[in-house]
Amino acid sequence: MEFMKMKAIPIIQARKMLTSLPEEFAREPQTGAVAVTRRGKPVLAVMSWDLYEAISETLEIMGDKELMAALAKSVKDIESGKTLSSAQVARLARL
C-alpha cells in the first residue's frame, strides 16, 4: 500500500472547501487526509470516513492482546512453513 500524502490547508481555506472535500478524497484517495492549520501549525485532520474507520479498527485490533498474540503466532507459523494447502483446508471444512 502506498503511503498516503497529507495536504495542509489554512483553516480559512478549509472552511470554504469543507463541502467539496468528500469529492476530492474520492477523486484522489492517495490524499488520505487534510491537515487544517492555524498560523501554520496543524490543529485538525479531516479524512474520509473509510480512512477513519480503517484507522479505528486497526487501533482496536492492536489494543487487543489476544488478537495480537494470535497474529504473531500466525506470522511465525507462516515463516516456519506451518501452513495448509487450500485442499487441506477444504477437507477440514467438510468435517
Residue range 41-85, pLDDT digits in tens: 999 999 999 899 999 999 999 999 999 999 999 999 999 999 988
C-alpha cell at 80: 516456519
pTM exceeds cut of 0.95: no
- Amino acid, res. 25: F
Q: What gap in Å lies between CA 30 and CA 36, rounded to an integer?
A: 17
| CB atoms closer than 10 angstroms to residue 11 | 12
Separate counts of helices (H) and strands (E) for the chain: 5, 3
User: What is the pLDDT, as a whole number, of residue 5?
Assistant: 67
Answer whether residue 94 shows pLDDT above 90.
no
DSSP for residue 8 = E
Which CATH architecture describes the domain 6-48? Answer: 3-Layer(aba) Sandwich (3.40)
Q: What gap in Å lies between CA 62 and CA 70, rounded to an integer?
A: 11
As annotated, the residues of the chain forming the CATH 3.40.1620 domain(s) are 6-48
